[in-house]
A and B are shown apart, each in its own frame.
Chain A
């Protein structure tokens, strides 16, 4: 039996398996599978692991997620309130920094693995590893140093500090969030995560100018990744475009996997990568909600026609909102399995 790992390794090595690997990011849907509210579902690592395993089994894609919701990282740094909705992902309801001076009081936990707020994630990872770890790669999501402050003070205040200072405080905070990234990475890898999504919207030309990218984003990404093994590390800009920076990121940061934006031209991305890295073409899953069967098939075919040539390609989804009808998830996956087949 060919596993998700087999497919991924074949693609990474530029070889062919039975079909291209398929990464489907179903998170909140796990609660529905288990008949739980989102708040109940995310309260226990056992639930999240069970939801992930059931959904992968049901749909047949190739990855598992240890991510609960993005705000979980802020909880490790003192966020006390997560707001739950019935129809969408949990959001941060408490900013750790109310005023800039609060930055001085932040302490980055030394040992994430033993941090109380990490224990449910750890349980989830342990179950996933035990049940399916040798067959399907387990993904973890870690926010880059430059993006993490937005979760601690809000994007508006962070953008203001990033661009207008005070720069000594900004740099102090970035040094701490860079340290936090590294410590999380150690904990996730120790717990068995195979794929680490390095999430940095500020690594996208949609978010920052070329000048800021070169003067700020790049140096801080270099610091985040100093001494870090790049194996299994994925460059992801939170759904924002990245084609324009692919070459720099490969040459300076050594990433070997890219998770493009739905707004990136897949063929152009492949051309820019030029066989130096694995590349995911990512579907616009907001449109997936309302597309018809024919539209879904046509879009998947278009993406795969653009991406499969030359290999080193896989299919990915973005945030997969709960609003996507189950039948559309199936249509999308059936189309990928059909058009992505090497048989």
Chain B
């Protein structure tokens, strides 16, 4: 049954049909699939499936990516309340858009995808100051700061990632809290994350989960 559900769910996501995707999930629950299997064997693989074809010809598009994340978050929220035991949270990230940046779509996609992968996100919203990124990471005991930037000057400017890095250094937190960045400017220059002194970047919300897990491993070592 699991393969059949996964295939139908993937197709609904590919067609950006939220209503159908939710119906497939609820039908599967009625037919006896566990909430855990729905999250880990249907939703998470669908995120990975989208990742492989994202940006390739007429493969998965930004619209499908958006829908993947939105539905993943909806389903995960619903299923978590039905889990037999609380799942292990892999890590925690505070995430927001850089100061002066009011474009929240990418951040929203990342949060949706991370939720299904059991990475907890604290959404700091738009136009977040460097100080707030660090203060909130400490407050929430997050291992990662995520900075999303749609515009070059908010990615590269003095009040973006560079300042967050400076504050982390000043407070001796650079080894404890890592920085991941993402957004349009990083797609145009894959080395830009190094210039702004981030630890890593992710091309899309789906890849963000994989990159975050690597960073979390680095922190543990």
For A92, list chain B residues within 8 Å (CB): 102
Contact partner, B152, options A88, A159, A207, Cβ 8 Å: A88
For A209, list chain B residues within 8 Å (CB): 14-16, 58, 60-61, 63-64
For B67, list chain A residues within 8 Å (CB): 163
For A244, list chain B residues within 8 Å (CB): 57-58
Say yes or no: B61 contacts A88, CB within 8 Å. no
Contact partner, A162, options B55, B63, B153, Cβ 8 Å: B63
Say yes or no: B188 contacts A284, CB within 8 Å. yes
Whether A88 contacts B151 in the complex (CB less than 8 A), given A164-B18, A205-B57, A287-B189, comes out as yes
A contacts with B, residue count (CB < 8 A): 36
B51 is an interface residue with CB less than 8 A from chain A: no
Say yes or no: A286 contacts B16, CB within 8 Å. no
Say yes or no: A321 contacts B108, CB within 8 Å. no
For B185, list chain A residues within 8 Å (CB): 286
Give min CB distance, B58 to chain A, whole Å: 4
> What are the interface flags for B84-114 relative to A under an 8 Å C-beta threshold, 1 for contact and 0 otherwise?
0000000000000000111111001000000
For A213, list chain B residues within 8 Å (CB): 58
Say yes or no: B151 contacts A89, CB within 8 Å. yes
For A232, list chain B residues within 8 Å (CB): none
A87 is an interface residue with CB less than 8 A from chain B: yes
B138 is an interface residue with CB less than 8 A from chain A: no
Say yes or no: A212 contacts B16, CB within 8 Å. yes
Say yes or no: B156 contacts A323, CB within 8 Å. yes
Whether A206 contacts B189 in the complex (CB less than 8 A), given A160-B70, A163-B18, comes out as no
Those of B37-93 within 8 Å (CB) of chain A: 55, 57-58, 60-64, 66-67, 70
Contact partner, B105, options A83, A85, A156, A211, Cβ 8 Å: A156
Cα A324 to Cα B58 in complex, Å, equals 33
For B64, list chain A residues within 8 Å (CB): 209
Cα A205 to Cα B57 in complex, Å, equals 7
A272 is an interface residue with CB less than 8 A from chain B: no
For B157, list chain A residues within 8 Å (CB): 85, 87-88
Give min CB distance, B205 to chain A, whole Å: 12
For A154, list chain B residues within 8 Å (CB): 102, 104-105
For B15, list chain A residues within 8 Å (CB): 209, 211
Those of A58-101 within 8 Å (CB) of chain B: 83, 85, 87-89, 91-93
For B16, list chain A residues within 8 Å (CB): 163, 209, 212
Give min CB distance, A287 to chain B, whole Å: 5
Whether A91 contacts B188 in the complex (CB less than 8 A), given A207-B63, A209-B64, A286-B152, comes out as no
